[in-house]
Amino acid sequence: MIVRRLVTASVVLALCLPACADEAKENPAAKPLNRDIDRHKKFLEIVEKGEGDVIFLGDSITHGWEGQKKIWDAAFGASKPVNLGIGGDQTGHVLWRITEGKEIDPLKPKLAVIMIGTNNMGAHTAEQIAGGVRTIVETLQKQKPDIKILVLGIFPRSPRAADAVRDKIKYANTFLAKLADGKQVFYKDIGDKFLEKDGSLDKKIMPDYLHLSAEGYQIWADAIKDDVAKLAK
């Protein structure tokens, strides 16, 4: 029954992906949410210099790269990355930051790496979350027509494979995968790399079963560094 629902929903989204303007208007996860906080203001000062070939957009998990400078520099330093992650962000906050917040206006990024959606899990459906990410992707393409975009699957959370949120994340990721066109937009799900053989999460990777340890960030870096280097050329 679950498989049938997943397949049906995936087919519906595949048909909808090219143009679903009406859905975006009605989708609460695709509406800008004000994020005019101190960290946003700090970002405006950083991007004012106009430097940054790769932008990382996301929530606290992306924000956390700031505590892993050695891993960050080794994996992405050559690509002139800019970390635009803010703890607590949902898709709507990221959307506000790249529109009304003007966080990327001074930049000419070659690549955007997006990992967002876990903070939407409590309030939105999997379809709505994917629609919010799609709106972010479409907005980036309008603002920066030459940009390439790497959408990452939402990372697993919660300790056990059988926990309900795991199914919702997998469900949302089936929709996110449909965003890829293989030309400008790419999708990669690295979630399994964080998991044990039985599907559980180890605290050494995610101490609170959500945020990454240094070992978790190394796994993330190793999983995408080649993609970032290739797409940012």
Question: Which residues does the annotation mark as catalytic?
Answer: 60, 208, 211
Q: In degrees, to the nearest 5, what angle opens at C-alpha 188 toward C-alphas 96 and 219?
A: 100
Q: Can you tell me which residue has the tokens 């050494």?
A: 204
Shortest CA distance to 184 belongs to which of 225, 226, 224, 231? 231
- Dist. CA 188–CA 172, nearest whole Å: 13
- Dist. CA 100–CA 90, nearest whole Å: 16
Under 8 Å between Cβ of 115 and 154: yes
Under 8 Å between Cβ of 40 and 85: no
| Paired residues of 115 in beta bridges | 58
Q: At what angle do helices 126-143 and 91-98 cross, to 10 degrees?
A: 10
